[in-house]
């Protein structure tokens, strides 16, 4: 069985440097909520990649559910970031690394 997760690539917009403390707090609360709901595999900040803020790896039932999560991200809602959503087929021992 194919195991899919979805990678949300978060890209900075021209207003990213005007981000407020309130939006950062909402962003972190969103991360906590996704983690508590079991929807977040991992997330992090990119260092050394201009224009990129970070990413989430989402565990959802569908691409549509992942898309809704992306649209609700406070950085996106506030216009500080945009996103790209990419399907990620997981390779692991259980599926012999997709061989």
Domains parsed from the chain with CATH numbers = 4-98 (3.30.70.1060)
- Percentage above 90 pLDDT, the chain: 97
Whole-angstrom Cα distance, residue 88 to residue 93?
A: 16
**What is the reported pTM?**
0.91
Q: How confident is the model at residue 1 (pLDDT cuts 50, 70, 90)?
A: low
Instruction: Name the token pair of 66.
Output: 């992942």
Whole-angstrom Cα distance, residue 99 to residue 94?
A: 11
User: For the chain, what is the mean pLDDT?
Assistant: 96
Whole-angstrom Cα distance, residue 81 to residue 27?
A: 11
2-41 residue pLDDT tens? 679 999 999 999 999 999 999 999 999 999 999 999 999 9
């Amino acid at each position: 069985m194919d195991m899919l997760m979805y990678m949300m690539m978060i890209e900075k917009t021209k207003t990213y440097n005007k981000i407020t403390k309130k939006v950062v707090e909402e962003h972190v609360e969103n991360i906590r909520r996704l983690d508590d709901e079991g929807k977040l595999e991992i997330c992090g900040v990119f260092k050394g990649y201009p224009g990129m803020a970070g990413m989430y790896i989402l565990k959802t039932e569908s691409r549509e559910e992942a898309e809704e999560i992306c649209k609700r991200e406070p950085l996106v809602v506030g216009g500080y970031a945009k996103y790209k959503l990419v399907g990620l087929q997981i390779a692991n021992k259980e599926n012999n690394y997709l061989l």
